[in-house]
Structure 1
Amino acid sequence: MGLDDILRRIRNAEAAAGRPAGSVTLIAVSKLQPAAQVEAVLDHGQRVFGENYVQEAQGKWPDWAARWPGVSLHLIGPLQSNKARAAVQLFDAIHSVDRLSLASRLARAAQELGLAPRIFVQVNTGAEPQKAGVAPDEADALIDACRDLGLDLQGCMCIPPDDTDPRPHFSLLRQIAGRNGLSGLSMGMSGDFEAAIAEGATHVRIGSAIFGARPPRA
């Protein structure tokens, strides 16, 4: 199974970086994957999963979480403000907070529901217009605002541009998180997670290397 290979590579990358074993959390990205594929990974012991779409996750994870206790569900895709309440109800962590209006909606929903999902501020380290994320020079202000709102702020997240060296982007995210006193670094995917671990990633988001190529979204 791809999961065993990925776990081995994560442990090797931790050791190569001089980091303790188990210091990196694997988020298995299950978006759009067939149910049988996800259930096989659940049976194998994986309990932390990432989804991109609130509505898709609502349709499958309540049942799976009941059948496999201990599941921790992370939202890693862009979040529309009108889905903030649903996201707070369903997800243990939200990695894609990139604007004050969304942070405010999440804080309001969390207070009303008595829940406190862990929050990561998404930074658009490559300043790509088509990609979500706060601009690097505006990240500090958004982090301060999230704290003022009482959110359970854990760290920062990024998705480096395709076909570029990801290390400068990982390093930039580490610097932003570090100067703001944040320890969480959600960075690294199937093609670059070992480089991310070398740069300090605490959470890596891996889909295709575990499940294989996913089918197109309907």
Structure 2
Amino acid sequence: MTTIADRISIAQSRINQAAQNCSRSPDEINLLAVSKTKPISDIIAAYQAGQRLFGENYVQEGETKINALQADYPDIEWHFIGPLQSNKTKIVAEHFDWLHTLSRGKIAQRLHEQRPSDKSPLNVCIQVNISQEESKSGINSANFADVATLALTIASLPHLKLRGLMAIPTATADVQLQQQEFSQLKQLFDQLKQQYPSVDTLSMGMSGDMDIAIANGSTMVRIGSAIFGER
């Protein structure tokens, strides 16, 4: 039976191979272990295997885990990757290091106001609805002006730090469509990067599509079930 440590090693090997295949350095790509709905013991097992970046989708669950682990594991970097309602911003502002799903100026303003002054700025990625599906959150990918407007708002808020873009592409086995969506996000990312020196993170790619995501410039892949098993 494979352990969490084994599966992290396999995931890292896949990242390394995908990077090699497109002549990139594996050092440019971070592995974010998506630990939502998984017990604290699984996070500790991943930590002991060298993993430091963890992603949570649910505000209260994430807060509980952070509070339980921060004393003994202070170097864990906590990423919030789920949809965020305005009535939950305080928990993210006070506890997390990153937010990947920012798509509204109102949420940005609240996070800024609620971020404790003794913490470093909250790292944020703007979520882009790259597939333009109504069921998904994010700024419409067809309009860079909307991305630029939100980026300008974030840049004016000193308790936030704009780091890049995040997207959840169409759930499909169509490699051509995956390629098209990832390529489109990379173009938006390059445009944003030209305007903001702090932009360095392209959060795209999961267990099923990480190879294509890495070939299109992903710097952070979000891996859940391939590390922790099915939910």
Helix, strand or coil at the partner of 1:123? strand
Alignment partner, residue 166 of structure 1: 178
Equivalent residue for 1:143, pick from 129, 151, 155: 151
Q: Deviations over 1:158-201 (max 9, x none)?
A: 00011143221111111111111233100001101111111111
Equivalent residue for 1:100, pick from 105, 111, 128: 105
1:74 maps onto 2:79 in alignment: yes
Equivalent residue for 2:192, pick from 167, 170, 180: 180
Give, in whole Å, the separation in 1 of the partners of 2:119 and 2:38. 31
AA at the equivalent of 1:36? S
Over the matched positions of the two proteins, sequence identity in percent amounts to 38
1:156 maps onto 2:162 in alignment: no
Helix, strand or coil at the partner of 2:115? helix
Shift in Å at residue 117 of structure 1?
1.2
Shift in Å at residue 114 of structure 1?
4.7
Q: Deviations over 1:73-99 (max 9, x none)?
A: 100111111221210111111100011
Give, in whole Å, the separation in 1 of the partners of 2:90 and 2:39. 26
Query: Which one is further off, 119-128 or 129-138?
Result: 129-138
Shift in Å at residue 111 of structure 1?
6.3
Give, in whole Å, the separation in 2 of the partners of 1:204 and 1:11. 12
Query: Which one is further off, 177-186 or 5-14?
Result: 177-186
Is the 2:94–2:116 contact (alpha carbons within 8 Å) kept by the matching residues of 1? no
Shift in Å at residue 203 of structure 1?
0.7
Alignment partner, residue 197 of structure 1: 214
Shift in Å at residue 115 of structure 1?
3.8
Is the 2:93–2:116 contact (alpha carbons within 8 Å) kept by the matching residues of 1? no
Equivalent residue for 1:48, pick from 48, 53, 62: 53
Alignment partner, residue 17 of structure 1: 22
Give, in whole Å, the separation in 1 of the partners of 2:120 and 2:43. 26
Give, in whole Å, the separation in 1 of the partners of 2:225 and 2:115. 32
Segments of structure 1 that go 5 or more residues without pairing to the other structure are none
Alignment partner, residue 206 of structure 1: 223
TM normalised by structure 1 equals: 0.92
1:60 maps onto 2:50 in alignment: no
TM normalised by structure 2 equals: 0.87
AA at the equivalent of 1:38? I
Shift in Å at residue 103 of structure 1?
1.0
- Aligned-residue CA RMSD (Å): 1.6
Helix, strand or coil at the partner of 2:32? strand
